[in-house]
Amino acid sequence: MPKKFPSKLVLQADSIVSFMAAVRALSKGATTDDEIGASFGATDRQGRYYRQAGVSMGVMTNYRNNAQLTPVGSELAGAPGAEQRRLLRAQFLDNKANRAFLADLSEVPAGWSRKDVADWIRKKTATGGSTIGRRASSLWGWSVQLGLAYEQNGLLKPSQGTIAQFATSSGDDPDASELSQATASEAKAVKKELNLPDYDPANEEEGRKRTLQALWLRRGQGTFRKALLGAYDRRCAITACDVANALNAAHINAYRGPQTNHPQNGLLLRADIHNLFDVGLISIDPDKMTVITSPNLIGTAYESLSGKKVTVPTDPTLRPHPDALKAHRKRFRL
């Protein structure tokens, strides 16, 4: 029987945002699990999971529950956005279990379900019990957030490119030059081309049943991003960042099939803001169209975003749907 990867190599830390908070906390003198957990508003137990993730990725060391950053961890703590992403990718791929997972995933272009990912962990690693589901969620989340895979129709699918390419890539999208040329008129054309009605956040069942054109099924995510780039004039709705390669198409309500790839269910956000939005550390007041920040961001560089006015498309039919924003805010209790 092939030797299984040690359980300690399998991440049990869902959020890259929280992981980076832990890295920065160590750079400022934190050492214990309690201090690590406190850096992102969690318990010492969660702090231990994130410390273990840091060790498995080679950015932290641990001796008698006293954590410290490795040289690459110190570099990561002070790295700007693009370099931070490159370092995270490289360290994620330096983990043998992660590399094996992505290699196996690349052999299945149709993608894996969450059960498939959990089964892979069960078969290929010395992990058991209730932690399998949590570790599967972490492996799935990191692969998507780092651009090594993408989620479509509830399946995890491999991104194009080899592991070696990803290890050195800055993460730029292969079609970034094309997408950066998107205009507001193109955004409206996408909506017309797909024959989409006004977006109704409460009608997800219809969205699941609706059969869209083959173009949408084949290019849904790319088209969604292109629409948002055009609608928002290629600028982050919150920070006004105008670097196309740093901008993500963020879903307000979670992806539930092609119908949710609708401009009114989207925001164009800088990658780090997208991460904060997805984990509920940032939301938007649909009445005032201003940013709401979690108390967990107090004392961080993102605290200043609280109350900031959100820029929306000039075309009302492309603006984020207020009911979708209300649902997001309610979901994260902000």
pLDDT attached to residue 215? 32
197 vs 130, higher pLDDT:
130
Using the CB atoms, write b or e for 292-317: b if 16+ within 10 Å.
Answer: bbbebbeebebeebeeeebbbbeeee
Cα distance between residue 212 and residue 210, in whole Å? 6
Which tens digit of pLDDT belongs to each residue from 14-50? 888 899 999 999 999 999 999 999 998 999 999 999 9
Q: Which helix (H) or strand (E) holds 271?
A: helix 271-278
Q: What is the CATH number of domain 7-168?
A: 3.90.241.10
CB 318 within 8 A of CB 264: yes
Band of pLDDT at residue 171, cut at 50, 70 and 90: very low
Residues of the chain with CATH 3.90.241.10: 7-168
List of long-range contacts for 154-161, beta carbons under 8 Å, 24+ apart? 154/113, 154/114, 155/110, 155/111, 155/112, 155/113, 156/105, 156/111, 156/112, 156/113, 156/114, 156/116, 156/117, 157/105, 157/109, 157/110, 157/111, 158/102, 158/105, 158/106, 158/108, 158/109, 158/111
pLDDT attached to residue 206? 47
State mean pLDDT over 309-316. 93
Q: Which helix (H) or strand (E) holds 331?
A: helix 322-331
The model carries a pTM of: 0.52
pLDDT over threshold 60, residue 53:
yes
Average pLDDT over the chain, rounded to an integer: 81
Question: In terms of Cα–Cα distance, which of 154, 87, 90, 81 is closest to 116?
Answer: 154
State mean pLDDT over 144-159. 86
pLDDT over threshold 80, residue 193:
no
Cα distance between residue 101 and residue 90, in whole Å? 15
Which tens digit of pLDDT belongs to each residue from 230-250? 999 999 999 999 888 788 888
- Angle, CA 208 vertex, CA 203 and CA 210 arms, to 5°: 95
pLDDT over threshold 60, residue 294:
yes
215 vs 125, higher pLDDT:
125
pLDDT over threshold 50, residue 209:
no
